Structure 1
Amino acid sequence: MSLAQIDVPVVDAEIARNMQTAAKLGMNGTPSWVVGDRILSGALPIEEIEKAIAAARGA
């Protein structure tokens, strides 16, 4: 698909839906992650994200 084929209103609508979902979850920055029932925000060390994933998996 070329840039000329992108339906801008459709893309804009998808971005707006994503922003609404993020706002409902309390996400206000990037990057943000949903891990299990936790929201992680900001540039985190990979070890912290791995620990959150392990905890969500019950490991």
Structure 2
Amino acid sequence: MDSVCMQCGKKLTPNEIGAHKKFINRGSTTFLCRICLAGELDVPPELIDEKIEEYKRQGCTLFV
């Protein structure tokens, strides 16, 4: 999947796409990078990273 952030144009990682699906809408076809997603959710980017790792440990298939 070769997607870019719909806000800033940065190339997205699979985990950024997974985070957008997890926190915004699982059916999304356009995505935000972790920085823009953090801004949208009004949380620090580090919290997005922590949640990605937490969900990965729990076996969530949205994250690699």
Higher strand share: 1
The one of the two structures with greater contact order (alpha-carbon pairs below 8 A, sep at least 6) is: 2
Shorter-chain TM-score above 0.5: no
After TM superposition, the score normalised by the length of structure 2 is 0.28
Normalised by the size of structure 1, how large is the TM-score?
0.30
Bigger-Rg structure (1/2)? 1
Query: Counting helix residues as a fraction of each chain, which structure ranks higher?
Result: 1
